[in-house]
Structure 1
Amino acid sequence: MKIAVVAANGREGQLVVKEAVERGHDVTAVVRGDNKTVAKNVVVKDLFNLTAADLAGFDVVVDAFGAWTPEMLPQHSSSLKHLCDILSGVNTRLIVVGGAGSLYVNPEHTTQLKDLPTFPAEFKPLAEAQGKALEELRERSDVKWTFISPAADFQADGERVGSYETAGEELTVNAAGESYISYADYAIAVVNEAEQAAHVGERFSVYAK
């Protein structure tokens, strides 16, 4: 498969590139500066300057964009809109590296993880921004999108176990009552979805056993 990873120099982006390359896919890293990934194919361009021509011919585009400072948080929405606009009406699938804060914690889907009083206050603005981007994405019927939420405890340096469980829109815990996944195992889920196209037009979540 031909896979492009946008914002590939980020920690999750690098792992997605590595996972896809090791499986033999033709991977292109889209980065703003020097390529820090193992991809041999590189497009050096800011996400907001990408055109439809830049992403033409790919089977899958992975959006690994992330922003954390208050002034940058709105770019979760604007960057995703830009990618959707240039992928509108084509067969290329868009897989979005999402967050856990928008996962529901009740069967009625009226309360999200970020709404709980126990949710860390410092992460709430990020969760709100990612949740807004997801809601906007749900309105797009012109793009073959998938949004993948990690577990609540998303560990950058966690061990690559090589397996994970999938769930839907609700926060799900393992047998030990934990909602955890490593960046490396999340990357496996991203590339599996790229290969299998099992959740087109859906948000799903992943967590460690």
Structure 2
Amino acid sequence: MKIAVVAANGKAGQLIVEEGLDRGMDITAIVRGENKTRANDAIIKDVFDIEKKDIEEYDVIVDAVGGWTPETVNIVPDAANHLAKLLKGSETRLLVVGGAGSLFVNEEHTQTVADVTPFPDEVIQVLNAHQKALDDLRDYDDVKWTYISPAGDFQADGERTGKYTLGGEELILNSQGESVISYADYAIAMIDEIESGSHIKERISVVSE
């Protein structure tokens, strides 16, 4: 299985690359500058310069693009859309590192985490960008996408426990009543989904045990 990780130099991207390599996967990093990952192969390109010919040989593309400021948040939905358009009608799967704000907090699926939580404006902008990426992906009938939402407390330097609980569209809590997961455990969940291919055209969520 050949995998390319877009924005592989980011904290999530690097851990996804490492987890895949540790399982013997063939992984290419797609990065804007020097490759800082363990991947032996790299494509040096901005996400928006990626062309269909660059990624058509891969079985899976991982979109780990992030944006955290008012000036950069739009890169999140824009990158997901750019990659989805390149993959329309192909067998290559697109797995997206998502956000938690779009997870539902009621059975009727009428309220999300972002709707009921008093986040600062700058955080709301990030949550809205991830929500738009998910909404846009749902419109692609001919793309094999999977959107993976982390828990609400997504810890970049959190412990790798090797365990997580898989959820769906609703916010779920762990045995301690918390919504938390480390980037390292999220990477495990991402690679597990790549291996299984169990949730095509679905959003799933993960939380630490």
Shorter-chain TM-score: which interval?
Answer: over 0.9
State the one-letter code of the partner of 2:176.
A
Q: What is the match of residue 196 of structure 2?
A: 196
**Whole-Å Cα distance in 2 between the matches of residues 159 and 19 of structure 1?**
14
TM-superposed deviation, 1:176: 1.3
Matched, 1:66 2:53: no
Answer yes or no: is the 8 Å Cα contact 2:98–2:147 preserved in 1: yes
CA contact (8 A) 2:70 2:122 kept: no
Q: Which residue of 2 aligns with 1:22?
A: 22
Percent identical among aligned pairs is 55
Which letter does structure 1 place at the counterpart of 2:39?
A
Partner Cα separation in structure 1 for residue 57 and residue 4 of structure 2: 10
Deviations along 1:37-85, one digit per CA (max 9) or x if unpaired, are 0000000011000011000111110000001111221222211111011
Preserved CA contact (<8 Å) 1:113 1:119? no
CA distance in 2, matches of 1:103, 1:16: 22
Match of 2:166 in 1: 166
Alignment check: 8 A CA contact 2:154 2:183 kept = yes
Q: Deviation of residue 120 (structure 1)?
A: 4.6
CA distance in 1, matches of 2:48, 2:92: 18
Please tell me whether the aligned partners of residues 77 and 133 of structure 1 are also in contact (alpha carbons under 8 angstroms): yes
Q: Which moved more, 1:66-75 or 1:10-19?
A: 66-75
How far off its partner does 1:121 sit?
4.3
What does 1:176-195 correspond to in 2, within 5 Å? 176-195=176-195
Q: How many residues align?
A: 209
TM-score, normalised with respect to structure 1: 0.98
TM-score (norm 2): 0.98
Task: Give CA deviations for 1:185-206 in whole Å, capped at 9, x if unaligned.
Answer: 0000000111100110000000
User: In 1, are the aligned partners of 2:101 and 2:152 still within 8 Å (CA)?
Assistant: yes
Partner of 1:206, secondary structure, is: strand
SS at match of 1:203: strand
Q: How does 1:89-104 map to 2 (within 5 A)?
A: 89-104=89-104
Question: What SS is found at the alignment partner of 2:54?
Answer: coil
Contact 1:99 1:130 in 2 (8 A): yes
The 2-side partners of 1:72 and 1:118 are apart by 22
Runs of 4+ off more than 3 Å: 117-122
Q: Does 1:129 align with 2:129?
A: yes
Distance 1:118 1:43, change over 3 A: same
Task: Give RMSD over aligned pairs.
Answer: 0.9
| Counterpart for residue 47 of structure 1 | 47
2:9 maps to what in 1?
9
SS at match of 1:53: helix
Give the Å deviation of 1:142: 1.2
